[in-house]
Amino acid sequence: MTSPPPPGDVYEVTLDPAARSEPASGRVLLFFIDADSGRRNGRQPAQGPFFEPPQPIASVPVSDFAPGETIRIDGTAVAFPESVDRFDGSMRVQAVLDADDTERGHLTGAGNVVSEPVKVQVRRDAADVVALTLSRRLDPPRPTKETPNLRWVNLRSDLLSRFYGRDVFHRAGIALPPGYADPEHVGRVWPTVYVIPGFGGRYWEGATYAHMLSRRGIEEIAPMAVHVVLDPESPLGHHGFVDSPNHGPRRTALVTELIPWLEREFRVARASAGRIVTGHSSGGWTALWLQLNEPEVFGACWANAPDPVDFSAFQMCDLYEDDNLYKDADGKDVPSYRRPMGPEGEMRVAMTVREEGLMERAIDPGGGSGQQWDAWEAMFSPATPDGQRGAGPFVGRPRPLFDAETGRIDRAVVEHWRRFDITRLVTGDWERFGPIVMGRVRLSVGGWDSFYLERAVIRFKEKVDRLAAEGGGWTGPGYINVVPEATHGTLGSKIFQRVNREMREHLREHGWPQH
């Protein structure tokens, strides 16, 4: 007689009343780290999701999860890479209650609660019970204190507040250049460099720019301008300053509310030539998007390692031709992230799109993970008809580009994404955008970009070069530059001096001294 299989593993998660006194709705997440590999020493599991290699994740929805209550997470939970019943080995695990609807990250939402990490030994052939207590309530993120050359902006947005039905604020870090506060220069008006952080970056990076601008001799290196570090984050991820049914009127709010307010509060130029926009990665895509769509606002753009600028080369996928995001025509898993190995520059795949998509699904199958693919969907997709794609506290959920379990692409959603394909935008109206690209855009990417972003930039460059060669009479300092052997992470250091020199030259040519 065959004995029944043993009951599966169970994770019992208790909400400590001392950490949160009010009931919570949202999701409880479990993050795991392989405790034997040593690759994540010094990191807490809840700092996930991790790449290289991806680590296990599981989650369940909760509604009115009461203080003192215990919930059970078992094999019925959505999980990556497989059911929690199948986890095996020595692991460190940490639980997170994500009930905040104002921040993307589960570790940045005010009122979220985390447990202490617990080391466990789980076995596939046994029923393990792991107890975790949500005991530490998270405080809202706060930037550092202001300094003589650092200011923080927290300005209520009427447009975004109406969209969300609650108070929403423009946030920015303002780094002031040497001499801004000198009494003999109180009438001097300064140009502005608008900096858009990459994915996961925040406005508090303004402190880094303030430190840079306070260093001795910086007048000979960096552009002498007020640096404004914007905040590209929303509850659904990096919003790209795109006017979106999921994020709200982000671009409109920036150019009609925040920038005019800054130009009233600080001694900065109100001419487009004196406004530079720049960014890296998701911030690079955003900088390019803003320059193309707001040429009366921004006079020059430096975009580095941008997210895909041609959707026929969306990382390793052709959104217009491929049927599946997870596997290619030969049935092989599509890579998403790579890293160089050895002196010959051999590249090793460290994560596939399938792994990335399934990790995001394990965090929130309703599309609210705030991670990369969910963030792109929030930028580019229409909202679901009922405003919700799954359980969650957000205003709306975007319609998914692909089935998170199978990777199958929704062609109707691709049609909606087309309007955000920068190559199609530019080549479709070359008379309008050609002068902007040729005269104002400096675009760089690494030839070994870690996320395969060079493929889209190369296609964009080929089409721009062809149109430029066919005529139009436009010339200018713009360029599209592929830097050999540079990765997503090393590109910035390789082009740092060039970019700063070019920014200084641009400002000097338009009447702003650089000394």
Question: Residue 284 is part of a domain; what is its CATH number?
Answer: 3.40.50.1820
Please check whether residues 60 and 49 belong to one and the same domain.
Answer: yes
* Distance between CA atoms of residues 72 and 60, nearest Å: 9
471 located within any domain: yes
Please check whether residues 89 and 155 belong to one and the same domain.
Answer: no
Q: What is the pTM of this model?
A: 0.94
CB atoms within 10 A of CB 277: 28
142 located within any domain: no
The backbone torsions φ and ψ at residue 513, rounded to the nearest 5 degrees and listed phi first, read -60, 145
514 located within any domain: no
* Distance between CA atoms of residues 276 and 291, nearest Å: 9
Domain that holds residue 341: 314-420
Domain boundary among 114, 137, 160: 137
143 located within any domain: no
CB atoms within 10 A of CB 515: 9
Q: Give pLDDT tens digits along the chain (515 positions).
A: 344 445 678 999 999 999 999 999 999 999 999 887 656 667 899 999 988 789 999 999 999 999 999 999 999 999 999 999 888 889 999 999 999 988 988 999 889 999 999 999 888 887 889 999 999 999 887 888 999 999 999 999 999 999 999 999 999 999 999 999 888 878 899 999 999 999 999 999 999 999 999 999 999 999 999 999 999 999 999 999 999 999 999 999 999 999 999 999 999 999 999 999 999 999 999 999 999 999 999 999 999 999 999 999 999 999 999 999 999 999 999 999 998 876 666 889 999 999 999 999 999 999 999 999 999 999 999 998 654 444 444 446 899 999 999 999 999 999 999 999 999 999 999 999 999 999 999 999 999 999 999 999 999 999 999 999 887 667 789 999 999 999 999 999 999 999 999 999 999 999 998 87
Domain boundary among 137, 162, 184: 137
Handedness of CA 171, 176, 181, 186 (dihedral sign): negative
Please check whether residues 285 and 223 belong to one and the same domain.
Answer: yes
Please check whether residues 175 and 305 belong to one and the same domain.
Answer: yes
Please check whether residues 290 and 322 belong to one and the same domain.
Answer: no
Please check whether residues 373 and 447 belong to one and the same domain.
Answer: no
* Distance between CA atoms of residues 24 and 233, nearest Å: 23
> Position 284: which residue type?
G
144 located within any domain: no
Please check whether residues 168 and 19 belong to one and the same domain.
Answer: no
88 located within any domain: yes
Please check whether residues 276 and 321 belong to one and the same domain.
Answer: no
Please check whether residues 171 and 181 belong to one and the same domain.
Answer: yes
In terms of Cβ atoms closer than 10 Å to its own Cβ (0-12, 13-18, 19+), residue 5 is exposed
Please check whether residues 42 and 93 belong to one and the same domain.
Answer: yes
Tally the domains of the chain.
3
* Distance between CA atoms of residues 279 and 209, nearest Å: 13
Please check whether residues 324 and 433 belong to one and the same domain.
Answer: no
**What one-character-per-residue DSSP string does 236-274 give?**
TEE-TT-EETTTEEHHHHIIIIIHHHHHHHS-B--SGGG
Domain boundary among 420, 452, 482: 420
pLDDT number for residue 386: 59
CB atoms within 10 A of CB 512: 19
Please check whether residues 433 and 405 belong to one and the same domain.
Answer: no
450 located within any domain: yes
> In 3D, which of 302, 176, 161 has the Cα closest to residue 229?
176
209 located within any domain: yes
